[in-house]
Structure 1
Amino acid sequence: MLRFTLKRLISGIILLLVVGTATFFLAHLAIGDPTVGLLGSSATPAQQAALAHKIGTDRPLLTQFLDWGGHAITGDFGTSWRNFQPVSGQISLKLPVTLSVVTFAIILSAVFGGLFGILAGLNPGTWIDKLVKGAAVVLFALPGFWVSLVLVVWFAVNLKWFPAVGYVQPTMSVQGWLRSITLPAVALALGAIVMVAEQLRNAFIAVNGQDFVRTLRSRGLTQTRVVLHLLRNAAPASLTVLALMFVGLLSGAVVVEQVFALPGIGAMTNGSSQNGDIPILLGITVVSVLFVVIVNFVLDVVLGWLNPKARVQ
C-alpha cells in the first residue's frame, strides 16, 4: 500500500510541474504584450516600456520562468500586475468562497446522486429508473448560466428563500453563509447529481447480477446488509465521477460566481484574463491543479483500499 501511495504522490507532483510550466508559456504566448491590457490602448510607448521594466516582462522569457518557478515552489506566486499586491494573499481571500460552494455542491451530488442511483439500481426498469435516466438527459442539455438564472428568479426573487447575490462570511453568520452558497451550489450540483446517479445505477445493476450477491441473499442477510455490500463494490465508479466532477465544478464556478456576484476564484479569473494579469492567472491555475492532485490522490488511495487489485497497477 505504501508503494502504491508513493507512486500516486509522485505522479501528482509531476502533473503539477507539467501543468504549471505549460500554463506559464501558453499564457505569455496568448496574451502577448500584457502592458497593452494593463495600461489601455492610449498608453504611450514610454509608459509601456516603464511598466514592462517594473513587472519584469522586458527580460527573456526563460529568465522570467525560472524566477517565477523558483518562487512558486515555495508558495510565492509573485505580485499582481494590476494592483501590485501579493498573488498568494489575494487567492487566499477568494479561495474559501469558491471552495465552500464547490464542496457543498460535491456533498449534494454525493448524497442525492447516491440515493437516486441506489434506488434506480435496485429497481431497474421502474418509474424511478426511468426518472433518473430522463433527468440525466434533460439536465445535461441545460446550460449552467440558464439554470442559475432560473434558480435566482424562483427561489430568490419570487419565494425570497435565499439571497439573489452576495456572499456572507461564515464568521459573521453561519446561517447567512449557508443561505448565500445554497443556490450557487445547487446550480453546480444538478448535472453532477444525475451523473453520479447514472454511474451508481449502472454499477449496482452489474454487481447485483454477480454470484456472490445471490450467495449473500441465500444466507439470509437483510436487504440493508446486502445493499452495503453492493455499495462497496459499486462505489469506485461513483467516486471516480465525483473526482472528475470536482474539476468540472471548479471550472463551472467561473459562470456561477458571475451570476450570483460571489467574490471567488471564478470572478477573479475572469477579471484577470481580461486585464492580462498573468501572475494571478498562474497562481489560480497552480492552486486549482494542486486541489485536483489532492482529490485524485485521495481517490486513488480510497480506491486502493476498496479494491486491493488496483494497488498493483
Structure 2
Amino acid sequence: MLALIGRRLALSIPLLFVVSIITFVIQSFLPGDLARSVLGVSATPEQYEAFREALHLDEPVLAQYGIYLSGIFRGDFGTSIYTGQPVLQTIAQRLPVSLSLIISSTIVAAVIGVFLGVLSATRGRILRRVVDVGSLVGGALPNFWLGLVLSLIFAGALGWFPSTGYIDFSVSPGLWAWSLVLPVAALSVGAVGIVAKVTRDQMLTTMQQNFVRTLRAAGVGTGSIVWKHSLRSSGVSILTVLGIVFIASLSGTVLVENVFVLPGLGSLAVAATARHDIPTIQGIALVFTVIVIIVNLLIDLAYGLINPKVRIS
C-alpha cells in the first residue's frame, strides 16, 4: 500500500507542473492589456510602465513563469491585482464553502444513487427503466438551469429555503445545512442518476457470479448477499464513478455558486476571470489540481480496503 501511495504521489508532481505551465501560458496569450484594463485609459505612461514592472509584465514569459514558480515554492501564490489581498488567503477563506458544497453533493449522490441502484438490480424491470430515464434526464439538465428552477419554486414561490447566501457552519450548523439544500440538490441530481445506473449494472453482473450462487446454496440470507457481499464486490466500480462525480462537481460549482451567490472558489474564479485577475486565476487552478490529486489518492486507498489485490499491485 505504501508503494502504491508513493507511485501516485510521484506521478502527481509532474501534473502540478504541467497545470501551472498551461495556466500560465494560456493567460499570457489572453487578448487585451492587463495594465490598461486595471489602470484605465487615464493613467500616465509612467504609471503604466511602473505597473508592468511591478507585475514583471515587461519580462519574457519564461522569466515571469520562473518568478511565479519560485513564489509557489515559498508558499506565495501572489497578490490579487484588484483587492490587494494575498491569493492564498483569499482561497483559504472561500475553500470551505466550495468543499461543503462538493462533499455534500457527492455524499447525497452516493447514498441515494447506491440505494436506488441496488433496489433496481433486485426489484425488477420497472425500477430499472426509471433509473435509466432518470440518469439520462439528470445528465442532460444543466445544473445552473436546475438551480434557477429550484430557486424559483422552493425559494421564490414556496419560501421553504433561502434563495441566496451562505451561513458558516461555526455560526449555526442547522442554518448552514439549510442554506446548502438547494445548491446541493442542483449539483447532485445528475450525479444520482449516474451513480444509480453504474451501481445497478455492476450489481446485476456481480449477482451472476459463481460465489453468489455458492452463498445462496449455503443458505446465506438474501439481504446479506446483496448488501454485504455483492455490493462490496461492486465497490471498485462505484468508487470510480464517485471519484468522477466529485471531480466533475469542481467545475459545477463555478455556475452553481454564482446562481445561489455562494462565496466559494467557483464564484471567485468567475469574478477573477472577468477582471483579468491573473494571480487569483492561477491560484484557483493550482488548488483545484491539488484537490483532484488528493481525491484520486483517497480513491486508490479505498480500492485497497475493498480489494486486497490492489494493495500488492
Q: TM-score, normalised by structure 1?
A: 0.95
Q: Is 1:204 matched with 2:206?
A: no
Paired letter, 1:303: Y
**Cα RMSD (Å):** 1.6
CA distance in 1, matches of 2:249, 2:62: 33
Q: Map residues 53-72 of structure 1 onto 2, 5 A cutoff.
A: 53-72=53-72
CA contact 2:101–2:180 (8 Å) conserved in 1: yes
3-state DSSP of counterpart to 1:209: coil
Paired letter, 1:271: A
Change (3 A) 1:42 1:210: farther
1:239 to partner: Cα distance: 0.9
Q: Map residues 96-135 of structure 1 onto 2, 5 A cutoff.
A: 96-125=96-125, 127-135=126-134
CA contact 2:137–2:190 (8 Å) conserved in 1: no
Per the alignment, residue 212 of structure 2 pairs with 213
Gaps of 5+ in 1: none
Q: Map residues 233-248 of structure 1 onto 2, 5 A cutoff.
A: 233-248=233-248
Q: Is 1:73 matched with 2:73?
A: yes
CA distance in 2, matches of 1:21, 1:51: 23
May I ask how many residue pairs the two structures share in their alignment? 312
Change (3 A) 1:72 1:209: same
CA contact 2:139–2:191 (8 Å) conserved in 1: no
CA contact 1:38–1:277 (8 Å) conserved in 2: no
CA contact 1:12–1:297 (8 Å) conserved in 2: no
1:32 to partner: Cα distance: 5.6
Change (3 A) 1:44 1:197: farther
CA contact 2:138–2:191 (8 Å) conserved in 1: no
Q: Is 1:4 matched with 2:4?
A: yes
3-state DSSP of counterpart to 1:58: coil
Identity score, percent = 39
Q: Map residues 268-287 of structure 1 onto 2, 5 A cutoff.
A: 268-287=268-287
Per the alignment, residue 33 of structure 1 pairs with 33
Q: Map residues 6-21 of structure 1 onto 2, 5 A cutoff.
A: 6-21=6-21
CA distance in 2, matches of 1:47, 1:206: 68
1:124 to partner: Cα distance: 4.5
1:95 to partner: Cα distance: 0.9
Per the alignment, residue 82 of structure 1 pairs with 82
3-state DSSP of counterpart to 1:30: coil
CA distance in 1, matches of 2:148, 2:189: 14
Q: What CA deviation, in whole Å up to 9, does each residue of 1:247-284 have, x standing for no partner?
A: 11111111111110111111110111111111100100
Gaps of 5+ in 2: none
Q: Map residues 132-281 of structure 1 onto 2, 5 A cutoff.
A: 132-227=131-226, 228-281=228-281
CA distance in 1, matches of 2:286, 2:23: 9
CA contact 1:55–1:81 (8 Å) conserved in 2: no
Paired letter, 2:293: V
The 10-residue stretch of structure 1 (40-49 or 56-65) with the greater mean CA deviation from structure 2: 40-49
The 10-residue stretch of structure 1 (116-125 or 175-184) with the greater mean CA deviation from structure 2: 116-125
CA distance in 2, matches of 1:204, 1:122: 9
